[in-house]
Structure 1
């Protein structure tokens, strides 16, 4: 046998051995909800809320099928990792408090954990209830982005709209934005409004509702481009790192904390999967904070998998995969500055730049903070000056002598000369 062929076999065998030595310990799965009805209609839209079976913003049957398929994919991918039957200690599921995300999680779990044996509670229903946790929308601080509770972020958004990139792009698309404004009946037209109109038209087109005559192929392509630019404006374009710390870094910080905690207690670890059901903006925010965002809106049922492995020596590493097309295998993502199999220590160090240690403080406006400091300084200085004046006044009174004495006249004369 040829020596080169033998060498090739040895390399292949070695690679297979290295791969086999890696052991999956924990995975975070974040996905966008499935196909839905529009969130709203524009004023001139011929299709209003009554034209959709469950109204605006609701998961469709196609969306349910998408997540059933994704759940089946996850079952195949993690079949040797997760127990075949549902075990409550192995998986925790969290969703935003929207019908479409809650129903997507439930559809996904139907594919991931089809009941068998004792878990079949009715022979006519190949499904079992699995808990999905959530918090009220007003209290959601982990999965809904962008969060509007941060004055500094709002200031960054205002500054973003003054950047050369933003101004040039909006000027170059004034004609299409004016066309959209005239045809839709919207009074205010900007990148965010174009995004909303595109979303409505997109939902309608997927459900065989005819598009208006003004939506030509060229108009459609430009709307799609502006819609994607809208995602970039929110999380990137200008001061990307700071935006990440104030937005997607919140979720990234929680994920990194969980990875580190699991790595420290692998032998005692029971939880194997954290499943998060959220939105396109959630996916974009997290990917942007990881510097792996491709600049395009994450599609329905897109899924990001962050996997924690350990080797024979116990050294933990992190691998990331993005599934945005059910027809092809997930894309492996590489954290900039690290290898595909990124050692956990390096992963933690690199992502620190995108994670705020005190977001509340970083959200404060610098000008407001500076004004407070100036006011405090003036008050302190004023108090000190008043104190000195009082001390000086009391000192003069204490040392005053009767009129007519020589000593008094001499002090008074010196005071006049100094003034």
Structure 2
């Protein structure tokens, strides 16, 4: 039906105005984007496809002959996936990286695990194919590039496995919470079913996640799954697994102690870059890690939508400077498929968050002194989570221990006095050369 008359003209005029405004908005966005300069990028990704870490007892595919690379190792598909991601990153960061490798441009850090180290190597093969003077053997299109790592037991930043008693305490208290216990109890029929058929005890979301991961990998490799798995795979195992990924950082305190050092390192490096204190003055920093690292980072940043991070899932924190502003801003992207990633909506800040504001948004998860905060004694002073009964018990034990020590000291003093004071030779500490 045609719209005519005064109302028809008004409607057409309104539509025209909307179209013009949309066009102006698009043009303005394009102009702003063209005036922005990418300054620095942090890239954190999960390793590529791997074999199961540990098959379950009744697994029909548990014979190592089915997995030529061994348990928990990178497969050829995983190498290929990271080679392609490296090529994609080369295109995305071509304004930051020279064609030939320079340690002044990039730094690569991996957890101290075979599959993450090999993934970083595969990724760099795509990021830096040798050209010009970098060609050192005409028979291979590859060149060695350094990858740095730290033993997991000493790594509080990337592996996040360095001992932190306060974190262990907080995680235990979280798992003892009524909400977590109710959720876990609701899964008991599923746990019992899986335990009966897999031959492995499953009594927690983490244990269920391990079974899900094994089945998922076997499915990806075209292995036929046992009939019993049809009752639980992919659902509800997949959903249980997604919940498990959020557990380790699901409170501000857990996030602060688990992933806070990594976020703080990234933000401080952004700040050093802007203030020209970054030496060498690199432009790209790459972290090769795990699905738990990806989920922990996103959850700590309050950007995690429950899911199982796929192989080679990639988080990018990018620092840009606009031509019409002195304040640099940060955008966070997540690439978990082959599609182009979209900027994520940072809480209370948007997709283009000023760097100074970012420190404010995440102030509660940036540790002042991680080593000190990890001490249980500091925990008891700062995060009072124990109930009064537990606190009273602890105070009572400390009081009795103190009294016992004082009694021992008084006894020693009385004994020494009877033996002539402190001048007896046996009271001296002997030091042998």
TM-score by length of 2: 0.80
| CA deviation profile, 1:280-338 (whole Å, cap 9, x unmatched) | 11111111111111122211001001001112243211111000001x11131122111
SS at match of 2:346: coil
* Alignment match of 1:234 (pick from 209, 230, 248): 248
* Alignment match of 1:195 (pick from 178, 202, 209): 209
1:262–1:269 contact (8 Å) kept in structure 2: no
The CA RMSD measured in Å over matched residues stands at: 2.7
Shift of 1:186: 1.6
2:49–2:74 contact (8 Å) kept in structure 1: yes
1:144–1:281 contact (8 Å) kept in structure 2: no
Task: Name the counterpart of 1:180.
Answer: 194
Shift of 1:376: 11
2:191–2:202 contact (8 Å) kept in structure 1: no
* Alignment match of 1:77 (pick from 92, 105, 112): 92
1:162 paired with 2:173, answer: no
2:246–2:296 contact (8 Å) kept in structure 1: no
1:23 paired with 2:37, answer: yes
| CA deviation profile, 1:246-269 (whole Å, cap 9, x unmatched) | 101111111111111111118987
1: distance between equivalents of 2:230 and 2:401?
Answer: 62
Is the alpha carbon distance of 1:139 and 1:50 closer, same or farther for their aligned partners in structure 2, counting shifts above 3 Å?
A: farther
Unaligned runs of 5+ in 1: 387-419
SS at match of 1:300: coil
1:254 paired with 2:269, answer: no
SS at match of 1:134: strand
1:304 paired with 2:318, answer: no
1:285 paired with 2:296, answer: yes
Is the alpha carbon distance of 1:111 and 1:103 closer, same or farther for their aligned partners in structure 2, counting shifts above 3 Å?
A: same
Task: Name the counterpart of 1:144.
Answer: 159
Shift of 1:148: 6.3
| CA deviation profile, 1:211-231 (whole Å, cap 9, x unmatched) | 111011654311111111211
1:345 paired with 2:356, answer: yes
| CA deviation profile, 1:367-393 (whole Å, cap 9, x unmatched) | 9777589659977xx89xx9xxxxxxx
2: distance between equivalents of 1:114 and 1:341?
Answer: 32
Task: Name the counterpart of 2:114.
Answer: 99
* Alignment match of 2:221 (pick from 207, 214, 228): 207
Equivalenced residues, count: 376
1:148–1:154 contact (8 Å) kept in structure 2: no
Higher Cα Rg, which structure: 1
1:176–1:219 contact (8 Å) kept in structure 2: no
SS at match of 2:166: helix
1:121–1:128 contact (8 Å) kept in structure 2: yes
Shift of 1:191: 2.0
* Alignment match of 1:272 (pick from 283, 291, 301): 283
